[in-house]
Amino acid sequence: MKNVLDFLGIQLAYSDEVFRPTLISENCAKLTDFKDKCVLDLGCGIGPLAIYFAKNGARQVSACDIFEKHLEFTRNNAKLNEVDIEIFYSDLFSNVKEKYDVICCDVSGVDKRVAEMTGWFPGDVPKADETGSNLILKVLDEAQSFLNEGGNLNIATTSFSDMTAIEDKISEKFLNSEVLIKIEVPFSRRLKENLQFLNKDSYKKIGEDFFWIFKLFKCSN
């Protein structure tokens, strides 16, 4: 069954089979410097970022994903919002042929066990491994080859991953990086119920409340 949600004023169709935009998606959209630039939305989901960029001043937008259902929804949502986006299948950078001014990446940075216990990634939606960092590390390894001179990678991360490995990889691959935003997100009921299965390094406790951390990095050379 298809439903419609509002994403920063944009109407997007979705279903229970796909990953829906989140607080992370909204911050990626708001904090990415995309106007008059060529942008790649890597791991586009149902298209919220790509469509937001296209409707708000990006010069050219491409969007790719490994999950065919996501691509189907992105195509339909692009038509619904009357924007012109290049949409194609790609396992991260496997089918990317061009270079971009900006790459925005919100692939799964969540420990597979957390993804399953929370239901954040329904059904066949691709998930990260048990470290939560394998997809992000691969993006960081390869992104430079697909950036124009002076370009940057904006990449979303969560504390449900190996943040030490991610930050070390950022330092290895990029001369410059900054955290555009850091948010402490309160635990949902499901996370609280599964607290005993979580790595204690993946969250922080303040009083009687628990929080996981979202960071959006901007990386460039």
pLDDT, tens digit (0-9, with 9 covering 90-100), for 151-200: 999 999 999 999 999 999 999 999 999 999 999 999 999 999 999 989 99
Average pLDDT, the chain: 96
pTM, to two decimals: 0.96
Residue type, 119: G
Helix (H) or strand (E) segment spanning residue 26: helix 23-31
Mean pLDDT across the stretch 17-46?
Answer: 97
Domain count, the chain: 1
> Distance between CA 72 and CA 48 in Å, rounded?
13
pLDDT for the residue numbered 90 = 98
Phi and psi, residue 15, nearest 5°: -145, 180
Mean pLDDT across the stretch 68-76?
Answer: 97
**Residue (of 53, 62, 69, 68) closest to 17 by Cα position:** 69
Structural domain for 38, as ranges: 3-220
Which CATH number characterizes residue 182's domain? 3.40.50.150
Cβ-contact 137, 166 below 8 angstroms: yes
Residue 83: HSE in the Cβ half-sphere, 13 Å Cα cutoff: 29
> Distance between CA 19 and CA 93 in Å, rounded?
20
For residue 105, list its beta bridge partners. Answer: 42, 155
Residue type, 189: R
Judged by DSSP in three states, 156 sits in strand
> Distance between CA 177 and CA 168 in Å, rounded?
11
pLDDT at 118 > cutoff 90: no
Report the range of poorest mean pLDDT among 89-98, 99-108, 110-119.
Answer: 110-119
What DSSP string describes 34-96?
A: -TTSEEEEES-TTSHHHHHHHHTT-SEEEEEES-HHHHHHHHHHHHHTT---EEEE-STTTT-
65 pLDDT band, cuts 50/70/90, is very high
For residue 71, list its beta bridge partners. Answer: none
Could you tell me which residue, 126 or 55, shows the higher pLDDT?
Answer: 55
